Amino acid sequence: MDARSVGIISNQRLMRKALVCLLLSLPICGRAGVPFDFDSIDEASNTLKDDKIDILMIDVDGTEDVLNVVSKVRSISPSTRVLLLARLFDEKFAIEAVRSGAWGLMRTQSDPVLLQQAIQKISSGEMWFSHGTMSIALQAFAGRDQSRESALDRLTAREAEVLRLLVRGYHNKEIASRLYVSESTVKTHMKGIYRKLGVNSRVEAVLLYTNTTGAPLHPLGPPEAAQFLAGEHPPAERRSMAASKQLQAV
């Protein structure tokens, strides 16, 4: 991750600048230079179009219609992975974040060490959501009709190959390199995959694939990574609740 770039979107200037200072102090981001910071998706769009941002952190409390912003990021730069930062959020919002294409969600009250771990995991192709969130998301896909689930059979051999690499966490550029094709060709395959699977994001495609085939999902962050009740319980009780969610998700 040392060579990867990080960006921040928030209309709260103090929040942005504080995050920039924090990121520069983290070993995982220190050598990547000063993080990009923007007050809106409009300001970030040109940089995103140039594929200059690998991980984009979005302040939920400082961004209007944040899930729509996540969709816009995905449309402008499919290879950019979004980590949402929120002071408070519930399970419903977490599920919607997964569906919108976000790669992770964490509380702004979290320890900086967790932020570093989240960036590490997301950069390596893993998602940063609680096991409970991912379990519910998978159940939602399990409830879809058979024609949607059997859509994998309609993928071409190359599309299936691209999807398998996507499930393993590869970026578009990395997929292109492994398959000896151009990045634009990979993007064309991705569009075909979305259309045939009836999904709108990489995350949805991965969830549908893992739910249908039984393939393992990439490991998630630790139980502390995303707590739904955002501080309503003491740390020990939150850890107990998180452990319970993990067991339920197994």
| Helices and strands, counts by H and E, the chain | 13, 5
Number of domains, the chain = 1
Per-residue model confidence (pLDDT) at position 206: 83
More confident residue, 27 or 191: 191
User: Rounded mean pLDDT of the chain?
Assistant: 78
Contact 37, 6 (CB under 8 A): no
- Weakest mean pLDDT among 66-75, 194-203, 231-240: 231-240
Give percent helix, percent strand, percent coil of the chain, each to the nearest 5: 60, 10, 30
Q: What CATH number does residue 102 fall under?
A: 3.40.50.2300
Residues 148-161 have a mean pLDDT of 84
Q: Containing domain of residue 186, as a range?
A: 1-250
Which pLDDT band holds residue 8 (cuts at 50, 70, 90)? very high
Residues 104-138: tens digit of each pLDDT: 999 998 888 889 888 888 887 778 887 777 776 66
Q: With a threshold of 0.75, does the pTM exceed it?
A: no
Q: In angstroms, rounded to a whole number, what is the distance separating the alpha carbons of residues 29 and 160? A: 33
CB 107 within 8 A of CB 113: no
- Identify the band that residue 193 occupies on the pLDDT scale cut at 50, 70 and 90: very high
pLDDT value of residue 128: 87
pLDDT on residue 32: 61
Mean pLDDT of 174-195: 92
